[in-house]
Amino acid sequence: MVRSADEANVFPDVKVASIQMAPRIGDKAANLQQSIDLIEEAARQGAVVAVLPELANTGYVFASRQEAFALAESVPDGESSRAWLDVARRCNIHVVAGIAERVGDRLFNAALIAGPKGYIGTYRKLHLWGDEHLFFESGDLGLPVFHTELGRLGVVICYDGWFPEVYRLLAMQGADIVCMPTNWVPMPGQASGQMAMANTLAMANAHANGLNIICADRVGIERGQPFIGQSLIVNEQGWPIAGPASKDGEEILYAAINLRKSRSARHLNAFNCVLRDRRDDVYDPMLGTGWPLPRY
């Protein structure tokens, strides 16, 4: 059915961008400038949301906790946060950027959420991968959903995407778009030519929860660790609407998201809705978190 002009104005498409880049370990100034250049390019192309990779300003493979600590910054008043807040304001765009966050003597693998009006919030990665356990604390801010003029944004980082509970709790809180800064690495047993496991998981969780997911990966090899690229934007029905990107090139993916369509997509047909059909007589609808049931 064709939407009326009034309806299209009330529920306009939201253009989003997934920025795939290759940060260099320890070169914060160059990484930060490149990220700003790419955000500005995304804004010129009409994007109002831009997602950067995990640890976009520092690189990922730290040699020691001391190196990680030296590269980390406070959020939102550190140098990188201020620069991302400035470009968000100047370019009238929302930015989700992976950063190593320093809080006293603690470090978190985090993401800054910035908008045209300033600082929106921080997400801290819940599920640490591999050597991250040597450098970071597990996230302690839960799974916030950030209410913006564009809609409701959730954030996950990389390995968080392996846990379906994460997406379900974001969906139960009414998230429309999930932004994923990530640094995907090759998975054991992955046969050549197959879709990346990370892509499969994003598609499955988008479909099961009626969520749009913007995955922004990095590329390159850092201190012997390869990264797989293949950034992806998935719609609320689980289908890719941009990407996967290349395995080794820097690029920006763009896609249009309509929130009216996204929210109604949770109704699969006249009988079934993926959130309404949960058997909360069998399992806790909020997965034991103690969070209040949402009101739709």
Q: Would you state the pLDDT for residue 38? A: 98
Is 40 assigned a catalytic role? no
Q: Would you state the pLDDT for residue 291? A: 81
Burial of 41 (0-12, 13-18, 19+ CB in 10 A): middle
Give percent of the chain with pLDDT exceeding 70: 96
CB atoms within 10 A of CB 4: 9
Average pLDDT over residues 87-98: 98
With tokens 């009414």, the residue in question is: 174
Is the pLDDT assigned to residue 49 strictly greater than 50? yes
Q: Would you state the pLDDT for residue 67? A: 97
CB 246 within 8 A of CB 2: no
Closest listed residue to residue 54, CA positions, set 143, 123, 142: 123
Average pLDDT over residues 208-230: 97
Burial of 13 (0-12, 13-18, 19+ CB in 10 A): middle
In which band, very low, low, confident or very high, does the pLDDT at 2 lie, cut at 50, 70 and 90? very low
193 versus 104: the higher-pLDDT residue is 104
* Catalytic, out of 28, 54, 91, 132: 54
In which band, very low, low, confident or very high, does the pLDDT at 224 lie, cut at 50, 70 and 90? very high
Is the pLDDT assigned to residue 71 strictly greater than 60? yes
| Pairwise CA distance, residues 34 & 83, whole Å | 12
CB atoms within 10 A of CB 226: 13
* Catalytic, out of 73, 132, 158, 222: 158
7 versus 19: the higher-pLDDT residue is 19
Q: What is the pLDDT of residues 250-268, one digit of tens each?
A: 999 999 999 888 888 788 8
DSSP the chain: -PPPHHHHHHS-EEEEEEEEB---TT-HHHHHHHHHHHHHHHHHTT-SEEEPPTTTTT-S--SSHHHHHHH-B-TTTSHHHHHHHHHHHHHT-EEEEEEEEEETTEEEEEEEEEETTEEEEEEE-SS--TTHHHH-BPP-S---EEEETTEEEEE--GGGGG-HHHHHHHHHTT-SEEEEE----PPTTPPTTSPPHHHHHHHHHHHHHT-EEEEE-BEEEETTEEEE---EEE-TTS-EEE----SS--EEEEEEEEHHHHHHTTB-SSS-BTTTT--TTTS-TTTTS-PPPP--
CB 28 within 8 A of CB 80: yes
Which two structure tokens, joined as six digits, stand for 100?
Answer: 């190593």
Closest listed residue to residue 119, CA positions, set 154, 155, 157, 83: 83
290 versus 74: the higher-pLDDT residue is 74
Is the pLDDT assigned to residue 128 strictly greater than 60? yes
With tokens 């980390």, the residue in question is: 72
Is 158 assigned a catalytic role? yes
Q: Would you state the pLDDT for residue 1? A: 41
* Catalytic, out of 15, 125, 179, 236: 125
Q: What is the pLDDT of residues 266-290, one digit of tens each?
A: 888 889 888 888 888 888 888 888 8
Q: What is the pLDDT of residues 232-250, one digit of tens each?
A: 999 999 999 999 999 999 9
Q: What is the pLDDT of residues 15-39, one digit of tens each?
A: 999 999 999 999 999 999 999 999 9
Closest listed residue to residue 170, CA positions, set 236, 105, 226, 78: 236
